[in-house]
């Protein structure tokens, strides 16, 4: 996306005070409720402002349009996704005998439990406005963590994962889970699906 296009979907200002943070939360909560009840077709800046209990002028101080709201929400989701998976890996590593790979897989699948229809809608807009590349940011971060803790996760005898192999491994898992999620498949939360992902990761790491 060029600079002009980026500007049309970027927040106008970042909240610096508790009051501003609260306004932002109200806007995000209102957007979520509107999507839950009526889908993206019902989403307008006027509807968000009304539902959030803020003036349309206050909303426009932060966001130039509804797309900018959704982009900000997706960026927050991606940052939270990275933090959740990172914590799952580190927590499992700190627990003797824990199955780190399985705990990581469960944490990642669990990301899609929270308001799945809202997440799906926000993700679709984020990609449509040309920001699909941002989805690789948490992927790269988790890839780097896996490579840094490789011996602890897969065993000391496992050959080192190159940055490319770590990236491909994480991206493969992300792609499979997102595909199942976007299809609305009931496989997402089955034991068989979890087992297959664990097998995929362990087999690739051991190859």
Domain 3-62 superfamily per CATH: Homeodomain-like (1.10.10.60)
DSSP 95: S
Q: Tell me how far CA of residue 105 lies from CA of 59, 82, 129, 165, in angstroms.
A: 38, 13, 29, 18
Q: How far apart are CA 110 and CA 63, in angstroms?
A: 30
Predicted confidence (pLDDT) per residue in 130-165, tens digit: 999 999 899 889 988 988 888 888 887 777 777 888
Question: Is residue 18 pLDDT above 70, yes or no?
Answer: no
Domain ranges of the chain: 3-62, 73-206
Q: How far apart are CA 171 and CA 177, in angstroms?
A: 10
Predicted confidence (pLDDT) per residue in 166-192, tens digit: 888 888 998 999 899 988 899 998 999
Predicted confidence (pLDDT) per residue in 88-103, tens digit: 999 999 999 999 999 9
Query: Phi and psi at residue 174, in whole multiples of 5°?
Result: -60, -45
pTM here is 0.85
Tokens representing 173?
């898992």
Q: Are 84 and 107 in contact (CB under 8 A)?
A: yes
Query: Helix, strand, coil: what percent of the chain each, to 5?
Result: 80, 0, 20
pLDDT computed for residue 4 by the predictor: 47
Tokens representing 162?
């190159």
Predicted confidence (pLDDT) per residue in 43-65, tens digit: 999 999 999 999 999 999 999 99
Q: How far apart are CA 177 and CA 188, in angstroms?
A: 7
Mean pLDDT across the chain? 88
């Amino acid at each position: 996306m060029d600079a002009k296009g980026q500007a049309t979907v970027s927040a106008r200002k970042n909240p610096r005070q508790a009051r501003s943070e609260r306004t932002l939360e109200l806007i995000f909560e209102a957007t979520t409720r509107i999507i839950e009840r009526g889908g993206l077709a019902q989403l307008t800046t006027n509807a968000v402002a009304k539902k959030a209990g803020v003036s349309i002028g206050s909303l426009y101080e932060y966001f130039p349009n509804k797309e900018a709201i959704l982009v900000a929400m997706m960026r927050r989701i991606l940052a939270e996704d990275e933090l959740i998976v990172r914590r799952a890996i580190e927590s499992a590593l700190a627990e003797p005998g824990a199955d780190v790979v399985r705990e990581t897989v469960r944490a990642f699948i669990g990301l899609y439990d929270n308001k799945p229809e809202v997440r799906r809608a926000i993700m679709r807009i984020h990609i449509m406005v040309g920001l699909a590349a941002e989805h690789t940011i948490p992927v790269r971060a988790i890839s780097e963590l896996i490579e840094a803790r490789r011996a602890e996760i897969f065993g000391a005898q496992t050959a080192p994962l190159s940055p490319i192999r770590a990236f491909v491994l994480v991206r493969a898992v992300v792609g499979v889970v997102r595909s199942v999620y976007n299809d609305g498949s009931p496989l997402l939360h089955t034991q068989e699906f979890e087992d297959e992902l664990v097998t995929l990761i362990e087999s690739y790491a051991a190859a």
